[in-house]
Amino acid sequence: MSLTLSNDAKTAPETGRRLLHGLAGGTPDPGLETHLERWGELRPRHHLIDELDASGLVGHGGAWFPVSTKWRSVAAGGRRRPVVVANGAEGEPASKKDALLLAHAPHLVLDGLMLAGSALRAQQAIVYVPRNSIPAVEAAVAERRAHRLDPMAIEIAESADTFISGQESSVVNALGGRRGAIPGFVGRTSIRERGVGGRPTLVQNVETLAHVALIARFGAKWFRQVGTPDNPGTMLLTVNRPEGPLIVEAVLGSSLRKATGLRPEDVARARGLLLGGYGGGWVSPATFGELPVSEKAARRAGATLGAGVVALLPPDVCPLAEMADVVRYMEGQGAGQCGPCVHGLAELADAMERLAYGGSSGPRVERILEICNLVEGRGACRHPDGVARFVRTGLSVFCDEVIAHQRRGSCSQTHAARVLPVADRTARRRLVSKA
């Protein structure tokens, strides 16, 4: 098959439908030819990091860290040539947007990875994705190799199917690097200096890399055409609704409710809405209705947008039972490395289960909040902090349900089918023994 490559840059999308441009309806073709037709050829762009800086692009794996700052610190990370990693691990059971991108627009992600590789003069480029995404990535990499598109080889590595598998330090560990840095901990170097194979390492979420591919083509000014000056561009959201998950592309700064496509009446009747996934926070329907698509605003409301997970809890479920299941799941999903997290999340899961199922003998709220305080900030990673936020905000948003459970015991919906997805309910964590 011969490919006709157009030398003209394709016209940039003018609406907020960017990453999902051309992916509506049917089964979108993820092939290279369609990709090049849609977006045009990728030509090297000088000063890409400056362009990323001007664009204001931040990481969409959940950390919201400025991309240009991260790339510069990897570039300054050491004398050895770096490793660049496209991170599609997406361990959150309620997040599906990275899988969608890898299935339907893998070349956008790979373009971004190659741009990172060139800008940082990388030695090695790796795509780190779950088993289900590997066939699509393999096919895309084979197409690119056949057309000699890329300046360097692309390796594919399978990610573990666990909640924390997408955390930067977990990615580096899985790819044979050193143990990750503890934030702010002196005496342990950052993976940006010493990561995979001891080399400076860039771990960047696949959605973020897809945005990079578009900024390289159309520029920072184009990127800022939608969104607000503080909050430019778009982000993908996974909207978990009773009728099934939906992935939308939201313009930053716009109405979150409208962006999710959730009907106002469904939001009004909801028990509550979860933002940012199982390490995120709960908000009331009224708060949700007012929020813009903004990390700052979500933080002010006690939550986070994280990696773009939104979940609506419909009126016919028991929020405390939903929470108890998630906390138990999260307990089993830690790395098992830090004592306070291992013991604390186990106690937290027990307490939430007693609150949901245990009748009026359940624990007092103060006792649950005390455990939250004991785990927060005491792990090497932010896993316990996220669970603490999930529980604290939930107890506040669902305070009526908490009181009802404490008075009358478990409610009629406690044993209804769950709506929040958790992967393996039986997974339990062990404290890893230390050598």
Partner 1 sequence: MSRWTLELMVDPIACDGRGVCAEMLPERIELDRWGYPIIDGEDVAPALVDHAVRAVRACPTQALHLVERRC
Which residues contribute to the site for partner 1 (CB under 8 A)? 179, 182, 185-188, 337-341, 343-344, 374, 378-380, 434
User: By the 8 A CB rule, do 379 and 338 touch?
Assistant: yes
In this complex, which beta carbon is closest to partner 1, that of residue 97 or of residue 194? 194
What is the nearest approach in angstroms of partner 1 to the Cβ of residue 378? 6
- How many Å separate Cα 233 from the centre of its chain? 17
What is the nearest approach in angstroms of partner 1 to the Cβ of residue 349? 15
| Rounded Cα gap, residues 203 and 127, in angstroms | 10
In this complex, which beta carbon is closest to partner 1, that of residue 216 or of residue 346? 346
In this complex, which beta carbon is closest to partner 1, that of residue 79 or of residue 434? 434
What is the nearest approach in angstroms of partner 1 to the Cβ of residue 83? 23
What is the nearest approach in angstroms of partner 1 to the Cβ of residue 298? 26
| Rounded Cα gap, residues 349 and 341, in angstroms | 12
In this complex, which beta carbon is closest to partner 1, that of residue 12 or of residue 182? 182
User: By the 8 A CB rule, do 192 and 82 touch?
Assistant: no
In this complex, which beta carbon is closest to partner 1, that of residue 391 or of residue 422? 391
What is the nearest approach in angstroms of partner 1 to the Cβ of residue 394? 23
What is the nearest approach in angstroms of partner 1 to the Cβ of residue 177? 15
In this complex, which beta carbon is closest to partner 1, that of residue 175 or of residue 335? 335
What is the nearest approach in angstroms of partner 1 to the Cβ of residue 334? 12
In this complex, which beta carbon is closest to partner 1, that of residue 182 or of residue 267? 182
What is the nearest approach in angstroms of partner 1 to the Cβ of residue 367? 12
In this complex, which beta carbon is closest to partner 1, that of residue 26 or of residue 187? 187
What is the nearest approach in angstroms of partner 1 to the Cβ of residue 343? 4
Closest CA to 298 of 232, 170, 389: 389
In this complex, which beta carbon is closest to partner 1, that of residue 248 or of residue 371? 371
What is the nearest approach in angstroms of partner 1 to the Cβ of residue 351? 13
Retrieve residue 356's tokens: 């949901």
- Secondary structure in 3-state letters for the chain: CCCCCCCCCCCCCCCCCCCCCCCCCCCCCCCHHHHHHHHCCCCCCCCHHHHHHHHCCECCCCCCCEHHHHHHHHHCCCCCCCEEEEECCCCCCCCCHHHHHHHHCHHHHHHHHHHHHHHCCCCEEEEEECHHHHHHHHHHHHHHHHCCCCCCCEEEEECCCCHHHHCHHHHHHHCCECCCCCCCCCCCCCCCCCCECCCCEEEEEHHHHHHHHHHHHHHHHHHCCCECCCCECEEEEEEEECCEEEEEEEECCCEHHHHHCCCHHHHHHCCEEEECHHHCEEECHHHHHHCECCHHHHHHCCCCCCCCEEEEECCCCCHHHHHHHHHHHHHHHCCCCCHHHHHHHHHHHHHHHHHHHCHHHCCCHHHHHHHHHHHCCCCCCCHHHHHHHHHHHHHHHCHHHHHHHHHHCCCCCCCCCCCCCCCCCCCCCCCCCCC
Give one word for 131, left, alpha or beta, with left for phi > 0 and alpha for psi -120 to 50.
alpha
In this complex, which beta carbon is closest to partner 1, that of residue 24 or of residue 435? 435
What is the nearest approach in angstroms of partner 1 to the Cβ of residue 344? 8
Give one word for 244, left, alpha or beta, with left for phi > 0 and alpha for psi -120 to 50.
left
In this complex, which beta carbon is closest to partner 1, that of residue 113 or of residue 349? 349
